[in-house]
Amino acid sequence: MIILVVLGFFLILSGVISDEFLSVRRTEVMVRRFYLKQQVYHEAVSALKLLSSYFREDNASYDTLSDLWAYPFELPISEGEIRIRVEDEERYLNLNLVRTEAGFKVVRRLFEELHITSISPELLRVWVGGPGFWDRAYPPKKAPLDSLEELLFLGLSRQDFYGKAEGFIFYPGLSSLTTVWSNGRVNLNTAPPEVIMALSPRVNRTLAKRLVEYRRTHALKKVEDVVLVEGFDFEILHDLRPWATVKSENFRVTIEVRVGEVEGELNAILRRTGSDLKVVYWRFS
């Protein structure tokens, strides 16, 4: 009987010790993850500072997809790695242009090219404060878009937002070709064909692809250089001048950091004006 009592006591004691051990172990894991998350954050901030220094020193009069910033790269660190991607926002069409009559025509051409049907450019124009008829139960914002996700609130379908296939043809979505961060001009050295086509009713897909092919080996150093591309005449140049540039001002930076088993991502928008550089958007997750 005494043996059974002693055995029971030791079983209870071992259970208590086991629970305490597991509790301590969980605490150690939580502390380690917290420490690693802090390290991930500081590594991301350091990488952003390094990238900012590069842009401050990069005073080129034009930006292309052959520039150093346009290539993704990785940096090894203790117990992990850093991955960095940069995209200029001037390669995309700023949807806030829709508010003016001239800008509305540009945005409408992009909607037509992408077969966007779930919302109209007319609706978008009224939403940001332009003229037109509003038929929704809620009032229009009457202010520029702050993010592309507002389009989903307006009723844009996920297919029109992310891209869709119609038959054997794939149409990119607005999320991959538009922005709210650019200065309003489109960089002809970095823009995709669909955006180039939206800038002029005289530019078809063949001409847009011809420009994309030309710039692989010949950077456009000024907007006027576009007439060096076969098929681009001075009438097209006249159409492009209000909307086009060859230099980018806003850059979307994605920095992914892994330290041990912990990962984090920093997203930022850098705005470069001459030698001045500032962060206009920042989010770490």
pLDDT by residue (tens digit) across 43-102? 888 888 888 888 877 767 999 999 999 999 898 988 889 999 999 999 999 999 999 999
pLDDT for 77? 86
pLDDT of residue 139: 95
With respect to residue 64, please indicate whether it lies within any of the assigned structural domains: yes
pLDDT of residue 58: 77
Instruction: Say if residues 124 and 152 touch (Cβ distance below 8 Å).
Output: no
Confidence of residue 8 (pLDDT cuts 50, 70, 90): low
Length in residues, the chain: 285
Q: Residue 117: which domain range?
A: 94-181
- Regarding pTM above 0.95, the answer is no
**Residue 87 backbone phi and psi in degrees, to 5:** -130, 135
- Top pLDDT among 246 and 284 is at 246
CATH assignment at residue 70: 3.30.1300.30
Q: How confident is the model at residue 42 (pLDDT cuts 50, 70, 90)?
A: confident
**CA 97/CA 178 separation, integer angstroms:** 11
SS3 at position 170: strand
What mean pLDDT is predicted for residues 253-266?
91
Q: Which amino acid is it at 262?
A: V
For residue 187, is it within any domain? no
Residue 103 lies in a domain: yes
Does residue 104 have a pLDDT over 50? Answer: yes
In a domain, 188, yes or no: no
Q: Do 199 and 226 belong to one domain?
A: yes
* 7-11, 108-112, 131-135: range with lowest mean pLDDT: 7-11
CA dist 185 and 263 (Å) reads 35
Q: For residues 187 and 217, is the Cβ–Cβ distance under 8 A?
A: no
Q: Quick one: pLDDT at residue 23?
A: 57
17 within some domain:
yes
Q: Are residue 7 and residue 83 in the same domain, yes or no?
A: yes
Mean pLDDT of the chain: 90
Q: Which of 16-30, 44-58, 135-149 has the lowest mean pLDDT?
A: 16-30
Whether 167 and 122 share a structural domain: yes
Q: If residue 104 lies in a helix (H) or strand (E), which one and from where to where?
A: helix 101-113
Domain stop point among 181, 211, 234: 181
| Residue 142: pLDDT over 50 | yes
DSSP state letter for 135: -
Q: For position 18, what pLDDT does the model report?
A: 53
Which among 243, 259, 275 is the end of a domain?
Answer: 243
Last residue of a domain, one of 132, 149, 181: 181
The total number of structural domains in the chain stands at 3
Q: What is the pLDDT of residue 52?
A: 84
- Looking at the structure, do residues 79 and 11 belong to the same domain, yes or no? yes
Same domain? For 21 and 86 the reply is yes
Contacts 24+ apart (CB under 8 A), 75-78: 75/47, 77/43, 77/257, 77/259, 78/259
Same domain for 147 and 79, yes or no, is no
d(CA 109, CA 105): 6
Beta strand 93-94 with 244-245 is: unpaired
The verdict on residue 186 lying in a domain is no
Cα distance between residue 99 and residue 104, in whole Å: 6
d(CA 168, CA 146): 34
Domain membership of residue 198 (yes or no) is: yes
Whether residues 231 and 274 share a domain: the answer is no
- Compare 41 and 25 and report the one with higher pLDDT: 41
Give the mean model confidence (pLDDT) for residues 1-10: 54
Task: Give the residue, 60 or 197, on which the prediction is more confident.
Answer: 197
In a domain, residue 189? The reply is no
Region of poorest pLDDT, from 17-31, 125-139, 200-214: 17-31
Residues 211 and 156 grouped into a single domain: no
Q: Which tens digit of pLDDT belongs to each residue from 215-236?
A: 999 999 999 999 999 999 999 9
Tell whether 230 and 263 lie within a shared domain.
no
Locus of tokens 């991301």: 44
Q: Give pLDDT, residue 173.
A: 98
CA 275/CA 55 separation, integer angstroms: 8
Q: In terms of domains, do 127 and 151 share one?
A: yes
pLDDT of 6 higher than 50: no
pLDDT tens digit string along 82-94?
Answer: 999 999 999 999 9
